[in-house]
Amino acid sequence: MPEQTLSMLGMWLAALLTVFTLSYAFGDNPLFRAAIYLFVGVAAGYAAAVAVEEVLFPYLIDPILALAVGSPVIDPGELAMRGGLTVLLLAKLSPRTARLGNVVTALLVGVAAALAIAGALQGTIIPQVGAARSAFDADTFELALQGGYYGEAGGVLLQGFILLLATISTLAYFHFTARERGNQPPRRNILIDALAWVGRIFIAITLATLFSGVLLAALAALVERLGFLVGLLGGG
């Protein structure tokens, strides 16, 4: 089949799936479910292919084949450990042997949690602390004042104050420790309550910003798909 014909078929298939997906605007229907099932199936197949090509073959199959021909590329003990962990993980496929894979699953979850925590520290918390500190850096104010930029110095101070207040109040919002005072029910410190109330405002602003970003991205995708359909029908 000519390449141009295949390209045209792909474009019409993309248009058809776009219409199936947009049909959800009129409620759940078989056309929308067919598009979703196809998307999930393709995504799962792609993820499996990437896992086999990028992980299973280079880290397990190829070393085993190299060891079989007498030219090992890694230590046999390490290879045996990789194979054993893989077998235990595959045991999760059967309900009878699923318990054998709990150790490997716990190891995967622990490593993923450690990486997530390290990423949060390096990518969010530490830069947040550095940004709050730099906003109150004396050298910054001195350079701004020497250059006559009083407005800029005031803006830096205001930004630093808002950033510091947002950080402290947001952390206070998630502070749930309370003390008992006589016969009264446990209550948090009044200062913590006040900061938590302010933190609720910053959290609401953050969630609204994220939601607006997601909405704008969705609208951009919708406009692009509608433009694609109009262009395809107009060209036809």
Q: What is the pLDDT of residue 219?
A: 92
Mean pLDDT taken over the chain: 84
- Mean pLDDT on 175-179: 73
Distance of CA 104 to the CA centre of its chain: 23
pLDDT digits (tens, 9 = 90+) for 195-233: 989 999 999 999 999 999 999 999 998 899 888 888 888
Cα separation, 32 vs 39, whole angstroms = 11
Share of the chain above pLDDT 70, in %: 85
CB-side neighbour CA atoms (13 Å) of 181: 6
Give the span between the Cα atoms of 32 and 28, in whole angstroms. Answer: 7
> CB–CB of 104/85 below 8 Å?
yes
pLDDT digits (tens, 9 = 90+) for 119-149: 988 888 788 777 777 767 666 666 556 654 4
**CA 213 – CA 207 distance, rounded (Å):** 10
User: Span 42-52, mean pLDDT?
Assistant: 93
User: Rounded to whole angstroms, what are the CA distances from 11 to 8, 16, 20?
Assistant: 5, 9, 14
Burial of 176 (0-12, 13-18, 19+ CB in 10 A): exposed
Of 68, 96, 99, give the one whose Cα is nearest residue 83.
Answer: 68
Q: Which of 19, 74, 23, 67 is nearest to 228 (CA)?
A: 19
The upper half-sphere exposure of residue 229, i.e. CA atoms within 13 Å in the direction of its Cβ, equals: 13
Q: What is the mean pLDDT of residues 186-193?
A: 79
